[in-house]
Amino acid sequence: MEKYLIFNALNYPIITVLLVVPLIGAVFTLFLKKKSLLRVWGLAVTFLTAALSLPLYFNFDLTTPKYQFVELGHWFPSLHLNYVVGVDGISVLLVMLTTFIMPLCILCSWTYIKERFKEFVIVILIIETTMIGVFVSLNTVLFYIFWEAMLVPMYLIIAVWGGPRKDYASVKFFLYTFIGSIFLLVSIIALYIKTGTFFIPELMDHTYAFGYQMWIFLGCTLAFAIKIPMFPFHTWLPAAHVEAPTAGSVILASILLKMGGYGFLRFCLPIAPAATFYCMPYLLAFSIISIVYGGYLALGQSDIKKLIAYSSVGHMGFVTLGIFLLNAQGIKGAILQMINHGITTGALFICIGIIYERTHSRELKDNSALGMMMPIYVTFLGIFSLSSLGFPGTNSFVGELLVLMGAFSENKLVGALAIPGAILAAAYMLRLLQKMVWADSDGHAHHHKPGHHVLSDLNGREIFTLFTLAVFVFWIGFHPTPLLDVMDSSVTHLLHQLEAGMHHVGGAIHH
Amino acid sequence: METIITNKILLTPAIPMITAILIMASGKKPNLRESWSIIGAILTFLSVVTLLPRILAGGSFQCTLFTLYPGISVKFHLDGLGILFAGTASFLWILAGFYCIGYMRGLNEHAQTRFYVCYAVSVGAAMGAAFAGNLFTLYLFYEIVSIFTYPLVAHHQDAEGYEGSKKYIVYLMFTSKAFLLPAMVLVYLQCGTLDFSTTGIVNGIFPHDASGILVIVTYCLCFFGFAKAGVMPLHSWLPSAMVAPTPVSALLHAVVVVKVGVFSVCRVMLSVFGINLLQGLHLGIVTAYFVSFTIVVASVIALSKSNLKARLAYSTVSQLSYIILGVAMLTPNSITGGLIHIANHAFSKITLFFCAGAIFVATGKKDIKELGGLGYRMPFTMIAFGLASLSMIGAPPVSGFVTKWYLALGAMDLHNVILLAVLLVSSLLNAGYFVPIFLQSFYGKPLPADKSATGSLEASPLIMLMVVPLFITAVASVLFGIYPDLFLNIINVLVGK
């Protein structure tokens, strides 16, 4: 077992601490009453978690693809079931993303959430634990437990604090993800029966027959394709996004969707490499359909939140495209694009929440011509919109460029087919920006609209929230090397696994 | 002379950006705000001038800021081509700075702070493009120009303004995403880097065994990706963008925006592909014929326009293609003619736009038919207009003549009668649409008073802020026609004559 793992050398069990701190925070929330105290408490706990996660980055060993900061505890020895957690170059960035987004989720709910604030803080803290758990589990059962546990708080966030159609949206979200999860569970059990282990690195090292790989691949892919979401499994996403409160949308977009991409990289590619190669053209096709279809639908939306929700489908299409190109640039671009999407789309949802609190509408026409009244808001909206369309110098440009480089080097046609997605992204984001900042393009400047003159620009809390994310937009945009270095060894290792898997099974396909 | 690694060259793109921040901070005090704009322009120009001696001696400057990925970085590299563009644009910014004050105050325009901020950032981004040392940096600043000129085009915020600015941004963003982005990826995959060649313009960065088809595809994507160059069929954003206030049309659409486009095309042709590769694949001559179409057709369209700014816009479309034509002929003479036109056209065309704006502020007139008798009311303006027109036509002793001389030499070097005929026909067409304006203003009958809008500012001191700059640019056009050595020396270093 040790050949896969580097045990935690810090003087405290960092990953367990990250899992436990939000939970303890949630327990103590029970004893607080006043809203002002509750939100400060929520903020303090999430900030503490973020601060505690920093050593993961600073002490990360860039030279090895092994799992690091590993903690191992015996759980059910008879089933060979251990509590084993750790991170590698693929998951560490997603853990950091989670811990850094959560304080912002509390900040953007400061005044947005009006009722049941105590319960809200509890749910937010619990979901933080479950999300970190998904990314750090090195054991399929543990992974599955966190994966399922995350459903409940997310369901509650939509169903309790959601908009008018919250029942429909929350049930749809639950059912879609749950159906996917069942296939995941079947795959996990099938793998256990075959190999007798739940330990993910061992599952990766095992060689499976091609037919068996196909079943595992299909089971896992269905679960992850729903989660990410890939066309045609995307319909739960716009409903959930539109009805969820701001913090819910941010968590959904920034972190939950990434679990799908993470699942592909952690399970499908290394465990079923031959099936991955076999299914690659189909998944590339579905990715391109997602990119173009999501972008096209985003272009037609008049509801701002729906627009960003559909844009997520397109952006996640770029992620799956990068993953299934099965080359270093594509996979690195995909991981970077997951982080970028978490930052940028999270920020855009916060922007929408901010304007919704002021105008109580998500319609484009009710939120037009804001440029003169809210210059600071519009500046941030501009930054994040440009980032979302892949403007050079912003984070998304680097990710998109890497994915496109991977695509063009794999196959010129695949690259050329992804380009319309980039054009559509520019079209819908510029349309959004034009209407919100200026006015309708038909010349109706809503300058003197009653009620609009009272709109106040951002306050200090809102500026802090958006400024934090804007720093990352430009930091990654101009200096992505630290992030790319972190994923380097793990991505190289993943490609080796794929290649080795192909050699093992290569003969079997021909027989 | 070798390349100097120095971050001193960051100063030139940085000054306009800092200026923009200062303008924003002093938005409530118009006098301070506008002095920042002037001071920023002067400092930018001076910073370019200090770099000139070394470039003339054959050296260059280089500086790398960030590395995004091996071979992709934010990198600046200044050579003759860059300094020619940067010097011209920053010098004209000074004059445009004064002109703006006259125009914006004269018409009492709204949102002046936003106007000056976007103006400064656009110039700064143009400096960045001029100094760019690789395709990514060029693309970065090219896109910043697009984004920050959008508010300038949409300045009036009326239906016409939104329509024009929408067309503007759609054309520019579509082409850059659809063509430039894949072009950049393809260049990287073939060359392993996006850095421009630093060994001159003969050999680009492509390896010797590059696949011909792929190079041609990449070249076409690059060529059409820079839609700011206004080559047909991707030109129609330019006339639409003329809804902007005239100082914007003048500086941005005669100097900064379109010149960033043309500069980028020339830069990519010379420093990415290189003369040898373009010649080997016959891409140069095909491009020359392709832009010849634009030269002639845009001139014909200009003939049919009676709105003064619209006629100037189509004249710009036509003139820009001269620059690309010169480079595409790939002979030392023609490249000289093409590149020198970046400066020559800038001085002359900004004069023409300045004149159109001054006429509009003073009299409220936009149409050529209404200009009758104006030559006697605004003699300095119309004389400047006449001089600049001569430059457009290519008559001596104004600077446009130098351009046409070298272009014609280039065409003769190639023994190409068709391209020579294009130059001749287009010159006649240029005369065909510029001379009548001049004649109309002196010999045309003034329209009855009730039909023409009357301006109120003819006698105001503000008008001097407009007439003096336009007269300076007109005189400069003549000077560069008589004494073109400064520009020629810069280009000679570049083409290695």
Considering only CB atoms, which chain A residues are within 8 Å of B174?
423, 426-427
pLDDT for A218-274, tens place per residue? 999 999 999 888 888 888 888 888 889 999 999 999 999 999 999 999 999 999 998
pLDDT for residue A442: 46
Q: Considering only the beta carbons, identify the residue of B65, B143, B189 that sits closest to A408.
A: B189
pLDDT for residue B1: 61
CA distance A412 to chain B (A): 9
Query: What residues 432-461 of chain A have any CB closer than 8 A to a CB of chain B?
Result: 434, 438-443, 445
Query: Can you tell me the ipTM of this complex?
Result: 0.90
Q: Inspect the interface and report whether the beta carbons of A438 and B139 lie closer than 8 Å.
A: no
| Per-residue b or e along B297-329, where b marks 16 or more CB atoms closer than 10 Å to that residue's CB | bbbebbeebeebbbbbbbbbbbbbbbbbbbbbb
Q: Check if the beta carbon of residue B144 is closer than 8 Å to that of residue B125.
A: yes
Distance of CA B429 to the CA centre of its chain: 21
Least confident range from A359-363, B412-416, B427-431: namely A359-363
Q: Best residue in B24, B28, B146, B162 to probe A by mutation, most A CBs within 10 Å?
A: B162
Q: Best residue in B65, B121, B155, B157 to probe A by mutation, most A CBs within 10 Å?
A: B157
User: Across the strands, what pairs with A83?
Assistant: A73
pLDDT for residue B287: 92
Q: Check if the beta carbon of residue A51 is closer than 8 Å to that of residue A100.
A: no
Q: Is the pLDDT of residue B265 over 90?
A: yes
How many A-B residue pairs are in contact by the CB < 8 A criterion?
86
Q: Considering only the beta carbons, identify the residue of A386, A402, A409 that sits closest to B189.
A: A409
Structure tokens at A461: 């809390």
Query: What residues 399-418 of chain A have any CB closer than 8 A to a CB of chain B?
Result: 401-402, 404-405, 408-409, 415-416
CA distance A296 to chain B (A): 15
Q: Is the pLDDT of residue A511 over 80?
A: no
CA distance B119 to chain A (A): 17
For chain B, domain boundaries: 283-497
Q: Check if the beta carbon of residue B326 is closer than 8 Å to that of residue B339.
A: yes
pLDDT for A391-431, tens place per residue? 999 999 999 999 999 999 988 999 999 999 999 999 999 98
Q: Which residue of chain B is at minimal alpha-carbon distance from A390? A: B177
Q: Inspect the interface and report whether the beta carbons of B162 and A439 lie closer than 8 Å.
A: yes
Q: Is the pLDDT of residue B451 over 60?
A: no
Of the candidates B104, B332, B92, the residue with the CA atom closest to the CA atom of residue B201: B332
**Percentage of the residues of chain B whose pLDDT score is greater than 70:** 97
Q: Inspect the interface and report whether the beta carbons of A423 and B178 lie closer than 8 Å.
A: yes
Q: Best residue in B189, B190, B216, B217 to probe A by mutation, most A CBs within 10 Å?
A: B189
Structure tokens at A343: 């930052």
Q: Check if the beta carbon of residue B61 is closer than 8 Å to that of residue B4.
A: yes
Query: B149: part of which helix (H) or strand (E)?
Result: helix B135-153
pLDDT for B350-392, tens place per residue? 999 888 888 888 877 788 888 877 878 888 888 899 899 988 8
pLDDT for A485-500, tens place per residue? 999 999 999 999 888 8
Considering only CB atoms, which chain B residues are within 8 Å of A393?
140, 144
> φ, ψ for residue B445 (rounded to 5)?
-80, 135
Query: What residues 152-211 of chain A have any CB closer than 8 A to a CB of chain B?
Result: none
pLDDT for B330-343, tens place per residue? 998 899 999 999 99
Q: Is A150 an interface residue toward B (CB < 8 Å)?
A: no
CA distance B77 to chain A (A): 18
pLDDT for A40-94, tens place per residue? 999 999 999 999 999 999 999 898 888 999 888 888 877 778 889 999 999 999 9
pLDDT for residue B244: 82
Rounded Cα distance, B414 and A402, in Å: 42
**Residue A445: pLDDT band with limits 50, 70, 90:** very low
3-state secondary structure A241-297: HHHCCHHHHHHHHHHHHHHHHHHHHHHHHHHCHHHHHHHHHHHHHHHHHHHHHHHHH
Q: Inspect the interface and report whether the beta carbons of A392 and B143 lie closer than 8 Å.
A: yes
pLDDT for B469-481, tens place per residue? 888 899 988 888 8
- Average pLDDT taken over every residue of chain A: 88
Q: Inspect the interface and report whether the beta carbons of A441 and B182 lie closer than 8 Å.
A: no
How many angstroms separate the Cα of A180 from the Cα of each of A148, A311, B313? 11, 22, 59
Which runs of E-coded beta strand occur in A20-177?
Answer: 67-76, 81-87
Q: Inspect the interface and report whether the beta carbons of A398 and B68 lie closer than 8 Å.
A: yes
Q: Inspect the interface and report whether the beta carbons of A416 and B182 lie closer than 8 Å.
A: yes
Q: Check if the beta carbon of residue B265 is closer than 8 Å to that of residue B138.
A: no
Considering only CB atoms, which chain A residues are within 8 Å of B169?
430, 434
Q: Check if the beta carbon of residue A312 is closer than 8 Å to that of residue A343.
A: no
Q: Inspect the interface and report whether the beta carbons of A422 and B162 lie closer than 8 Å.
A: no
**Residue A440: pLDDT band with limits 50, 70, 90:** low
Structure tokens at A51: 């601060």
Q: Check if the beta carbon of residue B346 is closer than 8 Å to that of residue B242.
A: no
Q: Is A479 an interface residue toward B (CB < 8 Å)?
A: yes
CA distance A381 to chain B (A): 14
pLDDT for residue B102: 80
* pTM of the predicted model as reported, rounded to 2 decimal places: 0.92
Query: B65: part of which helix (H) or strand (E)?
Result: strand B60-69
Considering only CB atoms, which chain A residues are within 8 Å of B184?
401
DSSP state of B134: B
Q: Is the pLDDT of residue B200 over 90?
A: no
In the predicted model, what is the mean pLDDT of residues B92-105?
85
CA distance A47 to chain B (A): 30
Q: Inspect the interface and report whether the beta carbons of A426 and B177 lie closer than 8 Å.
A: yes
Q: Inspect the interface and report whether the beta carbons of A479 and B173 lie closer than 8 Å.
A: no
pLDDT for A384-396, tens place per residue? 999 999 999 999 9
**Residue B448: pLDDT band with limits 50, 70, 90:** low
Q: Considering only the beta carbons, identify the residue of A409, A420, A439 that sits closest to B157.
A: A439
Q: Check if the beta carbon of residue B274 is closer than 8 Å to that of residue B206.
A: yes
Q: Is the pLDDT of residue B489 over 70?
A: yes
**Residue B460: pLDDT band with limits 50, 70, 90:** low
DSSP state of B195: B
Considering only CB atoms, which chain B residues are within 8 Å of A402?
69
Rounded Cα distance, B372 and B445, in Å: 5
pLDDT for A336-345, tens place per residue? 999 999 999 9
Angle between helices A304-324 and A236-243 in degrees, nearest 10? 140
Q: Considering only the beta carbons, identify the residue of B67, B157, B173 that sits closest to A430.
A: B173
Q: Is the pLDDT of residue B453 over 70?
A: no
Rounded Cα distance, B347 and B403, in Å: 13
Rounded Cα distance, B119 and B494, in Å: 30
Q: Considering only the beta carbons, identify the residue of B158, B173, B181 that sits closest to A404.
A: B181
Q: Considering only the beta carbons, identify the residue of A386, A392, A415 that sits closest to B185.
A: A415
Q: Which residues of B lie closer than 8 Å to A, measured between beta carbons?
A: 65-69, 72, 74, 136, 139-140, 143-144, 147, 154, 157-160, 162-163, 166, 169-170, 173-174, 177-178, 181-182, 184-186, 188-189
- Average pLDDT taken over every residue of chain B: 87
Q: Considering only the beta carbons, identify the residue of B66, B139, B189 that sits closest to A478.
A: B66
Q: Inspect the interface and report whether the beta carbons of B189 and A405 lie closer than 8 Å.
A: yes
CA distance A329 to chain B (A): 10
CA distance A409 to chain B (A): 7
